[in-house]
A and B are shown apart, each in its own frame.
Chain A
Amino acid sequence: MKTEIKHADKCTTISVSGSVDALTAAELGKNVAAQIAGEHVNLIMDLSGLEFMSSAGLRTLLGAVKETRSHGGDLRIVSTNPGIDKVLKMSGFHNIAKVFTSQAEAAASFE
């Protein structure tokens, strides 16, 4: 799993590629925690580069939503992979946080 961080005015984007499973989810969690610790609390998680995500990844995302909100920020998801979409849909993630199909739309939601 690889992550790429991009800072913008109103939000920070973490782009993830590879797979987020029980092995790699912790590393993603650390990345998120580091951003929040650096006071980047409006986060976009771009999952469109992911090949695979399991419930372990979902748990990390849920944790990230909780953490960003408790620090006065929020989390948006960008997802274009049908498999990842299915995991989000099965878990009802759309009821928790907003999911977009492009970084631009996600960023605009922070305006």
Chain B
Amino acid sequence: MLNYFRVKRQPEKVVPDLGAISVSMLEGDAHLPFTIRQLNNLPEAVKRRVYRGLIPPNLLTRFGIDPIHWTGANKAPLVFLKAEANSEKVLITAQSSPDIKDEFFALELADNSLNGVELNLVVLNDPTTPRYSIDTTEDGQPTMFGTLKRNIEAEEQAMHAGLAPGQVRAGLGGSRVVFEQLDAFLSMLGHRAYFLEPLTYASAWVFERRGFAYVRGHKLMDDIQRGFQVGGSLHQSLDDGFVFRKPDQASTVRGRAWAIHDGILDTLDLRWDKIRMVKQIGRHAGVETFPQAVY
């Protein structure tokens, strides 16, 4: 009879290491998951066909892009796939015009060390809205979305324009369809879940609404929620001492996100770090660390 459990310190690969995808493998167990690396080692035409499934067709047709040919007016290519052989990553981007500044969609997936899937990047921008250069300093250095360096002036303008930290443009909306498409794509590959590390408090909130739970950092989100209540230490630090510390920031997701981006978690001796989220495919976790939140 089962009597006790011991903690396994070393996680196992839930998806086994397999070789290249062969026809015999395709004819075998239809439930076995494939990795991104295995997909990337398929012939170009097969890759192209398979990765078409990563983008919701109506996201492309909205910008006049043919969902099969990936071209716009005058047959200009507007969707780009980077899926190199032997690479564990795939990156798809889409632009509304040949000018790269008009990029409105970017998505990068990667295999992790357990042969699960990470969503490294998802960007949905409205190319018709103003762009804020929070991604470069005044002398042109990359800021890494404001995590490595900061362009304070651009951030302040972005915040007043209603952007969240890390955004260069207003969001496009329609992320629900993108995530549903991603669920379907990964299910087709045979995966049951995928993982990500949210860049900001605002992105974590969006992912909660999309049905993600936390692998790490659920308690941190609860601590933040408590800290921003009236009387909490984060609320008290919104003392109007700086542009990113206005008292009314406690009551919105974006406001909190800017304060956290600005380092307010130092008051709790904490950092926005090591938060990890998981999406169980086909399921919604129902997490709401900021109930009745106003974005």
- Chains A and B touch (C-beta atoms under 8 A apart): no
B residues engaging A (CB < 8 A)?
none
